[in-house]
Structures are given as C-alpha cells and as structure tokens.
Structure 1
Amino acid sequence: MKSVLLLLIAIISEVIATCALKESAGFTRLLPSLILIIGYGIAFYLFTISLEQIPLGIAYAVWSGLGTVGTILVANLLWDEK
C-alpha cells in the first residue's frame, strides 16, 4: 500500500512539474523553473521507490495514464485549454 501511495504522490509531483514547464517560458522564469526541476526530481525518486513493490509495466501504465489525465485537467482549469 505504501508503494501505491508513493506512486500517486509521484504522479502529482510530475503533473505539477509539467505545468511548471509551461510557466517556465523556456527556463527564463526562475520560480517555475525551480518548481519544474524539484518536481521532476521528486517524481522520479518516488517512482523509483514504488518500483520495489509494483511491477514496472503496471506502474508505468498508471503513471502515464493518471499523469496525462491530471495534466489535461490542470491545463483545462488554469489555461482554458480544450
């Protein structure tokens, strides 16, 4: 159960980092760039730990699926993207 929670936190961190990627304007804005770097660092670290208990194929499918849905929802809410 701990691994599933770590995977979910990793996904949330990845979605935050991906949204910061848009806001960083090509790494020209400091705060979004820092959020991006830290967010991806946390995401990949927690993803790696979750792989100790969750098979790679399942973890990656959940990661990519929920990450995509989360990013779409945030983009829709924050930037009115369709």
Structure 2
Amino acid sequence: MAPPTPTEEQPTYTAPELGEPSQTLLTVEDAARRLSVGRTTMYALLKAGHVNSVRIGRLRRIPAEALAAYTARLIAERHAA
C-alpha cells in the first residue's frame, strides 16, 4: 500500500488537554492495575462506594476520572490528618 499523498484526507488525532475530563471507561481489572491493587480489593472499593462505576448491560466499567477523584480524596485525607 502506497503512503498517502498530501492531497488525501488524513485523520488527525489529538490528545485531551490538561483539565479536560477523560471519557475512558476501564474494566475492573484495568482499574485495579492502575491503583496497584488486586481485583478483590477493587471490587471492595466499588461495593463500599469509594470508587464510582457504571453498569453497561451486565458489564461494570469505571470511569478514569473516578480513579483520579478517589486518589485525590486519599491524598486530601492524608494531608488533613
């Protein structure tokens, strides 16, 4: 396949800017990996309401911003103590 010529339409991709909320939905396993905790601990955090999640049919997904909010709360609590 030949490389596109400058006249051909090429898709452009931009990264979200800082401060822009991410619309990324993570699996429970991916969210656990990001927090460096096990799957069971992640489910416990979800059940206790410490991390927000959404249901899509039978699937549970965690918005990336929910992890950011959770870690921000942990840091704030640590500094308040």
Give the TM-score normalised by structure 1.
0.28
More helix by share: 1
Which structure ranks higher in relative contact order (CA pairs < 8 Å, sequence separation ≥ 6)? 1
More strand by share: 2
